[in-house]
Structure 1
Amino acid sequence: MVVFQVESMVSQTVDVLGKIESAGDVENIHVINKTAKVFTISNGSGNFKISVKLNDTLVFSSVQYKTKVLVVNEDIVFKKTVKVVLEEQINHLDEVIVGRVLTGNLLSDIDNTEGDPPINFYDVGIPGYTGKIATQSERRLNEATTGGGIIPLNPILNAISGRTKMLKQQVALEAKDELLFSIKARLSKVFFDLNPLEEPLIMDFFYFCQEDENFMTSCKNQSDFKILQFLEVKHKQYITNLKQ
């Protein structure tokens, strides 16, 4: 009877409810079943659900935490629950001395410094812009669509010449590139752990994803989970195209 239970447990797939604990934020932790090639992401409370079998390997990955590997044992399968404690990733930097060394002696330190202290618009009482700095294409588009006078000529002339349309396309392309490289930097490791691809093909795959007409709506301001789902669909299409 015991032998039958063990054999049944080995072959049985169960949904495990997990809880991630740490001193920091536990939302959006990547939970990967490397054996079954499935993944999920924790919610704001650190909770997640994932399908496992006995001896499956689970990997917990996030930028702010050390990667943790957990092998599914009998206890996890029977209880269908698991608690995981993650350790914060601390990057130690070598001590670097920039500029001249200060001694603590005010008169000596004044003589030992060079240059004038920097000032900004707050120092002189001038209101300044503190938002996101526009790209060169965004500035050009703004110039092309605004103008002075009773009847601003810039927007009219640029619309007729097609320059406004060209600049809008350039701004849109830059936004797609910014999103693409953000996804690549953030999700490459977790995605290619589950969906292996030769190194020379990785960048080509990302450009393949970017060419999809739904790329921006599927990936911009979306959760990592939804982006990974989009990448999975595109990965299958990409592999099919390679075989053809």
Structure 2
Amino acid sequence: MKKNKLFLTVIILCGFYYTQAQKNELSGTISGDEDVEGIHVLNKTSFTSATSNSDGVFSISAKLNDTVIFSAVQYKTLFKVINEDDIASKTLRVALETFVNELDEVFLVKPLSGNLLDDVSNSKARPLINFYDVGIPGYKGKQKTQSERRLFEATNGGRFISLIPIINAITGRTKRIKAQIKLENDDALLSRLKNDLSEDFFENNTLDEQHHVDFFYFVQEDPLFRQKCGASNLEALMFFKLKLEQYNQNLSEKE
């Protein structure tokens, strides 16, 4: 009897996870103060993308808890997590905020005297208190991201519930979390490369500014992205040039 109850519980949980993982075709509308045509819509979870038409209308495949990115030169990038209401209505309505390039604020402060001891004593800066200061034990290793904590929970399942890792493996949750961690690591690498190389790269390699964001997503989606770009900036530049040739070819075929 107990075995039957346990089996039934596993079946119910598997059915629940399967229902959540089903993909849906969502119809969306984008609104904004600027032109809403050509907005890049990217489902980061499933690696699918779409582009809005002149009325801001688009269609994209997504499932519950997928992250969808809306980006364009004239708007601030928007991250949207698909919720149950979106799935039920099969629609997305997104309002984008116009991007304004503002200068950083300027603060006038008391000038330094040149005497290190005087300047330090006059400074109002104070060090942060950590667990060493108050004499309590603390974790000294690298902090885990939210996805890494989810993976730990999915593969360990706590001290007493050993069934959870099995269910997560059967339903594919563990695999999806690992894919999410890989995607987050790739995002961090791409962000660093954009900061380091973007300005110099586009000075020497012509590409219309409206395509810059889409080009970087195109680079990141290549299966060899981390292998080619993770070693050094020089190798990353060479890979960018190769991908730009492919990207320009794709643009010309669309035209």
TM-score by length of 2: 0.48
TM-score by length of 1: 0.50
